[in-house]
Amino acid sequence: MSELFIDAGRDWIAERRAVGRTIGTETAKAYRADLASWQRYLEAQTSSAPTLSDLTAQVVKAALAEMNNAGLAPASRRRLVTTLRGLCRYLVLESRLPADPMASIEAPRAPARLPVAFTDGQISDLLATAQTEDPLARPAAPLLDVAIALILAAGGLRASEAAGLKLSDYRRGEEPSLRVVGKGRKARVVPLDPGVAEQLDVYLPWRAEHAATGSDTAPLLVRPDGRALTRDTISYRVNRLYARAGIPKPDGEAAHALRHTYALSMVDVGVPISEVQQLLGHESIATTGIYLKASASHLRTAATAPSAARLLASKPANPHHE
C-alpha cells in the first residue's frame, strides 16, 4: 500500500523543524491546515484517502479546478499551491516521489490590490464601539476589546503576535512599548504613544481580576474566563467590533486591516520606510514598500491626518468594567 499523503505531510513539517528552518508554531499550524485542505480536495478525486501515488499533475490540477469552482479565493489557492510545492520538493529529494507533480503547475496570480485601511472616522467608531458592552457576549468585556483595538491599530501587530504577548512584553514608563515576537521568532520593540499606554493601563486591573496568574510569562491578553486569547479569538472579537460599528469587513484576515491602517498612517506622516519595516517586523523592505504605493493612491485619504496611535490616544477608555 502506498504511503498516505497526510503522513508524508507530517514528516515534511517535522523535517523543516529538525534542520533548523525558521518555522514557528503558527506557521506549522498553517501548513497542517493547508495539508488538511489538500487531503479533502484530493480525496474528492480519488474517492479514498489519498496516497503519494495519487500525487500526479492530473489529479492536482483536477483538485485545483474544484477549488476554483468552489469559489476559493485566489490568495487561498495560491497559498495552498505554495504549501504543496514545498511538500513535493521534499518528497522528491527523499526519493519518496519519482517526479514532482507541481513542476508544470503555476500558482494563481496575485491580484494587483493595495492594502485596505480605515478612515479616521472608522477608527474612532471602532474604538467607541469597543468601549461599550457587546450585547451578545457572555460576559461582555469592553476593556479587553479596547486593549485589542489599541494593540492592533496603534501598535500594528499581527493577530498572532498580539495573542503571543506576555505580561512582561508590555513595558510601562516614560517610553512605553511592546516587545513583540514575530515571524521566525524574531523580536522587535514597538513604541507606544503615552496616551495609548494610559488606556492599556486601565485594562490591567481587569486582567488581574480575571487572569489565573500575574507572572511575567503569563499572557497579556486574557478572556473573561482567564484563558489566553488565541489568534482566532482575536479575529472573532474584531469581526464583532466591525459588525457592531457598522464598518464593512475588509477582505482577508479581520485584524490585518488595522495593521494596514497603522502602517499607512506611519508612511503618511513621514516615517522612513526602513523604520516602518522594523516596526512591522517585515523580513524584506519590498514587502513594506507596498505602503508607499498605497499612500500615493486614492487610499491616501483613508490614512491621512493624525496617525492611528494619536487618534486612539485621544479617545479615553471607559473606566467601567464588569
Q: Report domain extents, the chain.
A: 5-93, 120-313
Which amino acid, residue 217?
A: T
**Cα gap 3→157, rounded to integer Å:** 40
More confident residue, 34 or 214: 34
Mean pLDDT of 121-132: 94
More confident residue, 305 or 56: 56
Mean pLDDT of 294-308: 50
Which of 319, 199, 180 is CA-nearest to residue 259?
180
| Mean pLDDT computed over every residue of the chain | 86
DSSP string computed for 37-55: HHHHHHHHHHSS--BGGG-
Mean pLDDT of 78-105: 92
C-beta of residue 255 within 8 angstroms of C-beta of residue 238: yes
- Per-residue pLDDT tens over the stretch 230-270: 998 999 999 999 999 999 887 767 788 999 999 988 888 88
Helices (H) and strands (E) in the chain, counts: 14, 3
Joined together, the cell numbers standing for residue 183 give 515571524
More confident residue, 99 or 294: 99
**Hey, which bits of 15-158 come out as E strands?**
none
| Bridge partner list, 189 | 179
Instruction: Give the rounded distance of the alpha carbon of 136 from its chain centre.
Output: 24
**Cα gap 78→280, rounded to integer Å:** 23
Rounded to 5°, angle at Cα 189 from 187 and 194: 155
Mean pLDDT of 198-223: 93
CA 15 vs CA 11, 12, 23, 51, 81: distances in Å = 6, 5, 11, 19, 19
Percentage of the chain modeled with pLDDT above 90: 57
Q: Which fold has domain 120-313?
A: hpI Integrase; Chain A (1.10.443)
Is pLDDT at 104 greater than 50 in this prediction?
Answer: yes
Instruction: Identify the pLDDT of residue 76.
Output: 85
C-beta of residue 234 within 8 angstroms of C-beta of residue 155: no
**Cα gap 261→276, rounded to integer Å:** 12
C-beta of residue 168 within 8 angstroms of C-beta of residue 174: no
What length does the chain have?
322
Is pLDDT at 13 greater than 70 in this prediction?
Answer: yes
Which of 98, 94, 105 is CA-nearest to residue 68?
105
Joined together, the cell numbers standing for residue 1 give 500500500
Which of 281, 294, 166, 283 is CA-nearest to residue 229?
166
Predicted TM-score (pTM) of this structure:
0.62
Nearest-10 crossing angle of helices 74-93, 5-18: 80
Q: Which fold has domain 5-93?
A: DNA polymerase; domain 1 (1.10.150)
Find all residues with CB under 8 Å of 117, minimum gap 6, and list them.
257, 260, 261, 264, 265, 294, 299, 302, 303
- Per-residue pLDDT tens over the stretch 175-209: 999 999 988 788 999 999 999 999 999 999 999 99
Q: What is the DSSP letter of 303?
A: G
Is pLDDT at 296 greater than 70 in this prediction?
Answer: no
Q: Would you say the CATH fold of 120-313 matches that of 5-93?
A: no
